[in-house]
Amino acid sequence: MSLLTKTPAAPRIFTQEYYHRLNDLEEHSGWYQGMCEVAVRLVARHSSSSGRMRVLDAGCGTGLLLTQFGRFAGPDGTLVGLDLAPEALEYCRRRDSLRLVRSSLTPLPFGPCSFDLITCADVLQHLEGQE
């Protein structure tokens, strides 16, 4: 399921080829796998979720990090990937059980307290005109 909002175009660096290479790097990089492991352990340590967590990955890219939190969402939880680039969301569609939203990070198209966990990894350096 995708929710489309009026958003500016993503910078052209983010092509399908970019996400293909990024996914390959994420799946085979010891650094990235380690970063995912640290994030999952941190959430596990501080989570009181009963397996029904609502998770948003703001700037989800390929969706790989978001899928790592599936164990906390459980079968009754929700995994939402948000990205401005349609190419990113196209890549995310290959993964199971993700709800996808095409939108800018500002403002987020969700109300207060919509999620139990929000991640935003490796995104800030890609924001244009943000001070």
| Three-state secondary structure call for residue 99 | strand
Q: pLDDT per residue over 2-13, tens digit each?
A: 555 555 555 567
More confident residue, 100 or 25: 100
Q: pLDDT per residue over 74-124, tens digit each?
A: 888 899 999 998 988 988 898 877 899 999 888 899 999 999 989 998 777
Domains of the chain (ranges; CATH) run 2-125 (3.40.50.150)
Contacting residues for 125 by C-beta, under 8 A, at least 6 apart: none
Q: How far apart are CA 21 and CA 118, in angstroms?
A: 25
